[in-house]
Structure 1
């Protein structure tokens, strides 16, 4: 969201802005599909399309374009091998295709629509082409879709306002640290707790939604899906078990429980006695997080983030 907010401000204060978007990448290119950068006529730069020499050279070229009377949409294929006109001079090898769109104040409503969709977490598909920048009514199965034949025949679609959602069950100190970190990772964050006037829940300014609920009805508050992640970290064993028992047979991308090995071993035995199978329990990550000997809430948040990022990006 921060990128689009910056773009809105620059369009409000500058005559023209170039929007750069990586629409394709291959190999070990530093810029990945969907990476964005803006360059304003005042020289302000925000975002990145991969960094390094290739980014610097393209930025300098576009700065010159912005000083001209007219600008146009154009594409650039960046090759990361050796040192050439558009080679990055970097050791890594790969290719990426970058599209540069000139924007002005006439595009303010377009950017505002994107921001509204992100704030409401409602999907909308951006459409970029050699002659058009707007929205498409066509739904796409993944976040990005691109087609490329040549400089005059290509199309790029991006679904925005559709974020990975992290449900945090337990609004204590760890829940607060997890919320702060995952906000920076652009997750839609929802926090639930069953305690009224909990100071850490009240202090949590990172979550898009916070609510005090009865854990017995927790399943009514969570939407299933392949973009939904659940972390259970209540303040006591009985609540952890209750929440897990309500969510275990739901479909989420990830579900994990915070706790000691001994506590979780006992929980697993109780849940099996209640009728849950070993196969069902095997879907749960417990103890949650990458094993890095985390001690503080912030370190625990890092270990959880590393695990969820690994799962989220497994097929990229």
Structure 2
């Protein structure tokens, strides 16, 4: 079964607690900068007896969990927004950690009225529906079908407002459904990618058993362009059965702009692909965006080792462009 979005268990605990008539608290990192252990969007739900998720771990998280449980014992209270500065010399709002970054944490006491919104969030996450949730002191917890330009957005100040899209921000398309594709999907499933695998072979066992992919499609490679749209959060790894099919695929997509576009193969094979594509009229800029050979250099040999090396490169690219 494909991995669910990381936040699903958090919201599931919230819904179970509210349905049982028990109080719960949502903790959410609404802003982060620098070397902060808790990144924007990290969240957890705390009840009197359980906790799920994370806002960065360590002594800081421990103190917030204790604060949430104190609020639960005292009967809720108002929402709280507080900076956490991860520097020992900070004059105020020290987190107890020394990472040198900062984050701002929202403590939101969940109320029975929030159950409907929490259930809508769960339904969207389970089915990968497009949408967003928003919280503010003025309007409470809300869910919307529409999405905005940014995955996370935070408006500070007296009229503060935090908004976050639902589901996966980053989309990984693996073109080719063989053994390395199967291994890469297994690794990427734990890295917050929505995974699509494409192949032109209808009876391919490794495609049929790739249960880590959210979507699997059989299609002709020479008509694949519509299935791999461009975008700043789209990652594409080409690893078809051979050079010829790699070239067919790349002719469809190499001129598009992706966060990452790479092709598996030796340096000689990738050089030949670049030569053929250049001769076909594709620009030097397009060739420069095409990565290959792909993966970090760890002398990988097995499909599993290759998958780890490619996943590490995807992470490196994503963390450079994350905002």
- Relative to the length of structure 1, the TM-score reads 0.90
How many Å apart are 1:19 and its aligned residue?
Answer: 0.7
Equivalent residue, structure 1, for 2:9: 5
* 5+ residue gaps, structure 1: none
| Deviations 1:103-145, CA, capped at 9 Å, x for gaps | 2444332122223333444432321112411135775321111
Equivalent residue, structure 2, for 1:93: 100
Structure 1 residues 37, 235: closer, same or farther in 2, change over 3 A?
same
1:147 matched to 2:162 = no
1:245-256 correspondence to structure 2 within 5 Å? 245-256=251-262
* Secondary structure, aligned partner of 1:153: coil
Cα contact 2:76–2:109 (8 A) shared by 1: no
Cα contact 2:179–2:206 (8 A) shared by 1: yes
Q: Aligned partners of 1:94 and 1:170: how far apart in 2?
A: 40
How many Å apart are 1:79 and its aligned residue?
Answer: 2.4
Q: Aligned partners of 2:301 and 2:37: how far apart in 1?
A: 33
How many Å apart are 1:95 and its aligned residue?
Answer: 2.6
From 107, 118, 141, the equivalent of 1:111 is 118
How many Å apart are 1:248 and its aligned residue?
Answer: 1.3
Moved more, 273-282 or 229-238: 273-282
Cα contact 1:148–1:155 (8 A) shared by 2: yes
How many Å apart are 1:167 and its aligned residue?
Answer: 0.9
How many Å apart are 1:224 and its aligned residue?
Answer: 2.1
Equivalent residue, structure 2, for 1:61: 67
Q: Aligned partners of 1:119 and 1:306: how far apart in 2?
A: 27
Structure 1 residues 95, 6: closer, same or farther in 2, change over 3 A?
closer
Cα contact 1:164–1:227 (8 A) shared by 2: yes
Moved more, 231-240 or 62-71: 62-71
Q: Aligned partners of 2:283 and 2:137: how far apart in 1?
A: 54
Give the root-mean-square deviation of aligned CA atoms.
Answer: 2.2
- Relative to the length of structure 2, the TM-score reads 0.88
Structure 1 residues 49, 194: closer, same or farther in 2, change over 3 A?
same
* 5+ residue gaps, structure 2: none
Q: Aligned partners of 1:296 and 1:251: how far apart in 2?
A: 30
Structure 1 stretches of 4+ moved >4 Å: 83-86, 136-139
Report the number of matched residues: 313
Cα contact 2:120–2:143 (8 A) shared by 1: no
Cα contact 1:4–1:111 (8 A) shared by 2: no
From 59, 76, 81, the equivalent of 2:82 is 76
Structure 1 residues 77, 288: closer, same or farther in 2, change over 3 A?
same
